[in-house]
């Protein structure tokens, strides 16, 4: 009887941590680790190497995000149209090679071109790798798998910037950080090269070019609350250090804020996975939204270091929950042949919201204060919760696919 029960259990819950899943998750960690290594030091590098002022530096670095956003829809189309492992290897190789370009760029113009087009490679490889991860994880453990996969992002976010700044403070040489990014992204490419991708019938992919091949049109209502909450996140992450210094009195603790936030993100992703596998997608999003609103309320109302760091963990829990659940929601609205489009639609809406938050938040802060800007972030998030609760949730229930 024990053998029978054991067999039934293994059928109901197939293994998640297969060699394929370990490879794609390690590849994702190394991809984002190489990305986060450069994030805190590039403003200093552009200023020192090319004598660029703050305005020019901001535009150069923003080009990365803009190009990643523009290429997202096309990345979904490519991933759904061509063999996914081939696309992943091509995109990952290009992403890795661009790190070499930073060492070779001798002028600000060349550096700007490399940085901008590197953003395109980032947009392609993140959609390609995440779609591969969805393909190789068991459908009955998809929510759990998305949670663990997302944890690899958060670990990279917690470790990468701190290590990068430590290397710079110790060696005072940017080249070592560029070389480390090349090495880690090369290791990531080696990891994903070992994946044995499941066979996919490409004849099911439509050869007709239409808007729906680039954006998951049936999920357009779902993109709105994603944009609203990523709007607030973009404002939070970009102006955090200035807000902490000017209105909280925290002069050197923004790095700790992100470490604490990463702990919240990891904890919530690990906890939310099985809830998603049991069908509690909309409930998870609602609870995550409430957590975000509570975190922003603490962040705004308790402008002291204790409130500042407490809000970091609460916001991490809230965003970790909604990010996993929203990605699962988009995936569950698309057939296998459209998973790339579903993934790119989710990432596009997130990137769009972040960009709007950075742009609009800066203008609000310039006219009023950063505290007022974050109050508006809370208002936008509340509007997103109400929209989801009364409109989007019903739309999703009607349009989700029953088969996985």
Task: Locate all alpha helices (DSSP H) within 244-369, ordered by sequence.
Answer: 254-277, 281-301, 305-331, 339-367
Lowest mean pLDDT among 34-43, 207-216, 340-349: 207-216
Which candidate, 315, 317, 270, places its Cα nearest to that of 296?
A: 315
Q: Which residue range forms the structural domain that includes residue 31?
A: 15-197
Q: Which residue, 197, 228, 258, sits at the end of a domain?
A: 197
- pLDDT > 90? residue 180: yes
Does 70 share its domain with 184?
A: yes
Does 238 share its domain with 185?
A: no
Q: What tens digit of pLDDT does each residue of 2-50 get? A: 444 444 344 467 898 999 999 999 999 999 999 989 888 888 888 888 9
Question: Which of left, alpha, beta for 195 (phi over 0: left; psi -120 to 50: alpha)?
Answer: beta
The count of structural domains within the chain is 2
Lowest mean pLDDT among 25-29, 96-100, 236-240, 373-377: 236-240
Residue 163 lies inside a defined structural domain of this protein: yes
Does 342 share its domain with 381?
A: yes
Q: What tens digit of pLDDT does each residue of 96-117 get? A: 999 999 999 989 999 999 999 9
Q: What tens digit of pLDDT does each residue of 144-169 get? A: 888 899 889 888 888 888 888 888 88
Tokens of residue 402, six digits: 């029953």
Q: Residue 6's pLDDT is what?
A: 43
What's the Cα-to-Cα distance from 360 to each of 69, 174, 231, 370, 376, rounded to whole Å? 17, 32, 9, 12, 10
- In angstroms, rounded to a whole number, what is the distance separating the alpha carbons of residues 236 and 373? 9
- pLDDT > 50? residue 369: yes
What CATH number should be reported for the domain holding residue 291?
1.20.1250.20
Does 47 share its domain with 78?
A: yes
Does 118 share its domain with 71?
A: yes
Section 296-309 average pLDDT: 91
pTM of the model: 0.82
- In angstroms, rounded to a whole number, what is the distance separating the alpha carbons of residues 26 and 53? 37
Residues 6+ apart with CB under 8 A from 64: 115, 116, 118, 119, 122
Q: Residue 10's pLDDT is what?
A: 43
pLDDT, averaged across the chain = 86
Residue 206 lies inside a defined structural domain of this protein: no
Residues 6+ apart with CB under 8 A from 316: 260, 261, 262, 263, 264, 265, 266, 267, 268
Q: Which residue, 197, 228, 262, sits at the end of a domain?
A: 197
Lowest mean pLDDT among 302-311, 319-328, 357-366: 357-366
């Amino acid at each position: 009887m024990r053998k029978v029960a054991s067999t039934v259990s293994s059928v109901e819950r197939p293994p998640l941590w297969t060699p394929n899943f370990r490879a794609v998750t390690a590849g994702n960690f190394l991809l984002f680790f190489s990305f986060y290594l450069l994030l805190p030091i590039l403003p200093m590098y552009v200023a020192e190497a090319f004598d660029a002022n703050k305005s020019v530096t901001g535009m150069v670095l923003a080009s990365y995000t803009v190009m990643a956003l523009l290429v997202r829809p096309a990345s979904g189309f490519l991933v759904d149209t061509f063999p996914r492992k081939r696309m992943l290897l091509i995109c990952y190789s290009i992403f890795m090679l661009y790190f070499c370009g930073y060492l070779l760029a001798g002028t600000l113009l060349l550096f700007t071109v490399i940085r901008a087009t590197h953003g395109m490679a980032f947009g392609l490889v993140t959609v390609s790798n995440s779609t591969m991860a969805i393909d190789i994880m068991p459908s009955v453990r998809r929510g759990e798998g998305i949670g663990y996969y997302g944890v690899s992002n958060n670990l990279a976010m917690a470790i990468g910037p701190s290590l990068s700044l430590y290397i710079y403070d110790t060696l005072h040489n940017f080249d070592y950080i560029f070389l480390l990014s090349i090495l880690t992204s090369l290791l990531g490419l080696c990891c994903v090269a070992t994946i044995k991708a499941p066979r996919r019938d490409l004849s099911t992919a439509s050869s007709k070019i239409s808007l729906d091949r680039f954006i998951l049109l049936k999920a357009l209502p779902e993109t709105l609350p994603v944009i609203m909450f990523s709007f607030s996140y973009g404002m939070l992450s970009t102006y955090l250090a200035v807000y902490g210094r000017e209105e909280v009195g925290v002069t050197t603790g923004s790095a700790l804020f992100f470490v604490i936030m990463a702990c919240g993100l990891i904890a919530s992703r690990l906890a939310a996975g099985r809830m998603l596998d049991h069908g509690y997608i909309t409930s998870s999003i609602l609870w995550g939204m409430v957590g975000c609103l509570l975190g922003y309320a603490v962040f705004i109302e308790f402008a002291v270091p204790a409130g500042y760091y407490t809000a970091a963990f609460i916001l991490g829990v809230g965003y970790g929950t909604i990010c996993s659940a929203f990605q699962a929601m988009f995936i569950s609205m698309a057939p296998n042949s459209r998973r790339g489009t579903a993934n790119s639609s989710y990432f596009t809406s997130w990137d769009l919201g972040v960009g709007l938050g950075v742009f609009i938040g800066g203008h609000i802060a310039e006219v009023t204060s950063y505290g007022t800007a974050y109050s508006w972030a809370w208002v936008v998030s509340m509007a997103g919760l109400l929209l989801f609760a009364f409109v989007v949730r019903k739309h999703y229930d009607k349009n989700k696919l029953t088969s996985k």
